[in-house]
Structures are given as C-alpha cells and as structure tokens.
Amino acid sequence: MRNNNVMGILFPNMHDEALSALTSSRPFGSVPFGGRYRLIDFTLSNLVNAGISKVGIVTQDNYQSLMDHIGSGKSWDLSRKNEGLYFLPPVAMSDELYAGRVASLTGIRPFFRNSKEEYVILSDCHVVGNIDYDKILDAHRESGADITVACKHGDVPRLNDNLLLWMQEDGRVNDIMLGNCPAGECDYGLGIYIMRKDFLIRMLDAAVSRNHMNFDRDILLRHIDDVKIYGYRVPEYTAVISSPGSFFRANMDLLKPEVRAALFPAQRPIYTKVRDAAPAVYGLHASVTNSLVADGCFIEGEVHNSIIFRDVRIARDTHIENSIVMQGAIICEKTSLNCAVLDKDVVIKASRNLSGAEGYPIFIDKGTVV
C-alpha cells in the first residue's frame, strides 16, 4: 500500500546507554546485527515496505557511522527528487536539551512545517522485527485514536524507561506506568507511535511551554484522560535490544530457521547497504556448522553456532563457538572464543582464550588488539 500522507521520524540515539559496549563510537541504530545488517535497517525497511517515502532521521552525536551506512538512502529506494531520506542533525546548544523526544522534535519544527503529510510515525531503533505498518495505520484510523502505541505482551525488557500499558477490550489505554513491570507479564511499548502531524505539533507546543521534555511522561501519561491513546499489539516476531545480553540472544536466535523465516519473509524484505564482495572462502581444514557467514570471509579454523560478519579472517587451529565476530576482525591461530562479541576490526593474536557465558557474553571494543 502507498502511504503518501505518512512520514516517518526515527531516533537512532535513543537507548544508547543500554548497549554502551557497542555505542561508544556509533548511535544505537548503527549497531551491526546479524552478519550484514544494522539495527536501523529493520525500522527503515518496515517504513519503506508500507509505502512511506519520506523519512527523517533525528541525529544527536556519533552519527558519522550512520551516515556512512545509509548514505543517500538508495538501498531503501529513498534517494529521490521529491521527499525521500532526510538527516536532521541537532540544532540545540547543549546535549542536555536532546535528552528526550520532545526537545528533539521541537528542534525539527521547520521540517514539519514544510511537510505536507498528514500522519507521523515516531520510532526508536532498538526493536528487531518485520512489522507490518499498514496494519498499524489501519488500526489507528479505524479506532479514531489520537495516539496509537505499538506494544507487545510478555516479559518486560530491561530498560529504565519502559512504557507499560493497560488497555480496555477495545484497545484504549486506561493506565500507564513508566519503569519495570510490578509483577509478571504485561503490555510494553516498542517505541513506535502514530498520530496526526497537527496533533503532534499542538502537544509539543504545550509541553515545551511548560518545560516538559519527556514524551512518555509529559504527553502520554499526563494526558491519558483527555487524549484517546490506543495500544496495538504487534503480532509479528520482535526482539527488543535492551542490554548486552539481549543483543547477544537476538543474534543467536537468527540461527533458528523459524526466526529467520519470521524476520525475512519474501513479501517484506529487509534492505541494507549493498556491498559486492567475493563469496566466503573455506580452507581445507575449515569446519563450519550452524553458523551465518557473510561474504568476503576467509575461514580455515572451526566455527560453530556463530555469526561471522564480512571480511573476517579466521586462521587454522582456531575454535569459535557461540560467538559474534564483526566486520574486518582477524583471529590468529590456536585461538579459542566462546560466548564472545568482537566489534569491528578487532585482532585476536595467537594462542588466546576468551570465554564468556550465554547470560554474560564478553565484549571486545572496536579496533582492540588482544
């Protein structure tokens, strides 16, 4: 479906603190995932698959990596003469002002003013999922909601600013909490909000005039009685990246065929930056089982239950298991890795033994030589 009257606004820096091991030099949305993707690829692709052709990315800091990956947006068919992809850099005088969505959105008021779209989708980039935005938009229009919040029912992620919802049978939200669920499972927000553009601007003006900068607390919670807020339970598979452990588990889940089928259906592809490279080369002594190996790799050792990104070099007499090795890493001979996450361009010298645990994987910073 074409949604020419809908625009998307993405926040790639939200929740940076939840994954500090990988966000010291990049925003959350630019964190590599699944051998060839970045986290923002899933949100961008969901918008494009719904026919949304105007997307603004609100950047805060460390966004060079994100710009290198997305470029003009050509890989997502967002490089256009009219509309397409927009980077919206910060215009505030201090980082403190950009601590919340309200201040960030206020800083891009000219972008809203020059846009003709009727509806706005606000989305963070910490959810891995192939979500059908057409269905959410249809539910929003049919319910007559002022704000529709995409949510999921289950165990609440380990985020400090979780949005917890309690809904009536028709989906209208009658109670909201911020933080952690008091007991058991409940509905929690996925950081995706749909509303009319003029309504959003009115709410922003009212919030800023009172120095209220937290979107969830100062707009949703404060106006729960006088604004129609509806929840939409997302039926598709989703993985919320809320901690180093959840990032590790979400990657490892890709080794399951049913998860790959749910994330990458043929009718709604996930797009990413195209890089043409030679296929992976396996040496005579290589042994690779139940792993995802990207192109450009050269493998001579043993790799089991792992995800190997592009251009990785793995020498003979190495054993890699239950690990994530990102782009450009070099693993020298007689090395053992277990439950380890290696960022880009890491070098592991010969005869090293690095081991974490499934619930507490070990992270090696970008460019580190061990």
**CA separation for the pair 240, 259 (Å, rounded):** 14
Q: Name residue 343's beta-bridge partners.
A: none
Same structural domain for residues 47 and 101?
yes
Residues 106 and 142 in one domain: yes
pLDDT at 277: 85
Least Cα distance to 85 among 40, 130, 124 occurs for 40
Window from 41-45, 107-111, 179-183, 293-297 with minimum mean pLDDT: 179-183
Alpha-carbon gap, residue 228 to 246, rounded angstroms: 33
Same domain, 231 and 326: no
The number of folded domains in the chain is 2
Q: Does residue 136 form part of some domain? A: yes
Name the residue range of residue 117's domain: 6-263
The predicted pLDDT at position 92 comes to 52
Please report which residue ranges of the chain form alpha helices under DSSP H. Answer: 39-49, 64-70, 101-106, 109-113, 133-143, 197-209, 215, 244-253, 257-263
CATH number of the structural domain spanning residue 196: 3.90.550.10
Task: For 54-81, write each residue's pLDDT tens digit.
Answer: 999 998 878 889 999 999 899 999 998 8
**pLDDT (0 to 100) of residue 1:** 60
For residue 315, what pLDDT is reported? 96
- CA–CA dist 364, 12 (Å, integer): 22
Residue-averaged pLDDT of the chain? 92
**Strand ranges, E, within 91-185:** 119-124, 127-129, 147-154, 163-167, 173-178
**157 and 251 co-located in one domain:** yes
CA 216 to chain centroid: 19
> Is residue 16 located within the same domain as residue 62?
yes
| Lowest-confidence pick of 37-51, 144-158, 209-223, 280-294 | 209-223
Q: What is the pLDDT of residues 118-141, one digit of tens each?
A: 999 999 999 999 999 999 999 999
Considering the domain architecture, whether residues 138 and 102 belong to the same structural domain is answered as: yes
* pLDDT of 284 above 80: yes
Contacting residues for 37 by C-beta, under 8 A, at least 6 apart: 270, 272
1 within some domain: no
Q: What is the mean pLDDT of residues 218-237?
A: 94
Note the pLDDT of residue 80: 87
Mean pLDDT for the stretch of residues 4-25: 91
Position 154 pLDDT exceeds 70: yes
Q: What is the pLDDT of residue 363?
A: 96
Closest CA to 86 of 110, 114, 111: 111
**Mean pLDDT on 174-183:** 83
Task: Kindly state whether residues 243 and 332 are assigned to the same domain.
Answer: no
Does some domain include residue 46?
yes
Residue 141 lies in a domain: yes
